[in-house]
Amino acid sequence: MSDDPFDLFHHWMTEAGEREVNDPNAMTLATSTPDGRPSARIVLLKGVDPPDRQGRGFVFYTNTQSRKGAELADNPRAALLFHWKTLGRQVRVEGAVAAVETAEADAYYASRPRLSRLGAWASDQSRPLPARAELERRLADLEGRYPGERIPRPPHWSGYRLTPEAFEFWQDMPFRLHDRTVFSLADGAGWSGSKLYP
């Protein structure tokens, strides 16, 4: 068992990338309101920081005015869940969430397809939409406003980094005798790993 859960995660993610049929970087993001009401949705992992980065973590992007953005503003803690059915594996990650740096958000936004960038402007994510035609009208207006590739990042669209405080790696085993490995941060001593009963 690796002493560093990031190493194990990178190993499992590499295998998922080779064998999982659809979106190996898909993860459930669970947030909650200040009074504890949970909500969850699937988002895409867009980066895992390299070992030499301080405060390394898991990066995803979204509209900061969406439900998840509002919940993270009120309660900046979240949980992630990766499920790779083909491999019979799950990884749970829990920790604090903070906004990425402006330059990091700008760089990722610029790498997105043109219509995705326009869509970030057109969509009032999580708010009522009177009719699909309204979204399509907004998109058409934006295509006229930004005819080329230069499309600025909307001020309400950015990224978040979850910095882990706990990991659980779950491996499917016969007869439901699954293998569960957990890691937690020990004060000043790095990661501490142990096993759980299935």
User: What confidence tens digit (pLDDT) does each residue in 118-164 have?
Assistant: 999 999 999 999 999 999 999 999 999 999 999 999 999 999 999 99
The full set of domains in the chain, from first to last, is 5-110+159-196 (2.30.110.10)
Minimum mean pLDDT among 31-40, 42-51, 111-120: which range? 42-51
Residue linked to tokens 């699909």 = 132
Residue 10, amino acid: H
CA gap 93, 39 in Å, rounded: 16
Cα–Cα distances in angstroms (integers) from residue 148 to residues 142, 144, 178, in the given order: 11, 9, 52
CA gap 65, 72 in Å, rounded: 10
Stated pTM of the model: 0.92
User: Helix (H, G, I), strand (E, B), or coil: what is residue 33?
Assistant: coil
Helices 102-111 and 114-122: angle between axes, nearest 10 degrees: 120
Beta-carbon neighbour count of residue 36 at 10 Å?
A: 7
pLDDT in tens, 2-39: 788 999 999 999 999 999 989 999 999 999 998 999 99
Catalytic residues: 176
Record the tokens describing residue 164, joined without a space. 């882990």
- Dihedral (C-alpha) 95, 101, 102, 108: value to the nearest 10 degrees? -70
Residue linked to tokens 């459930």 = 28
Record the tokens describing residue 53, joined without a space. 């980065």
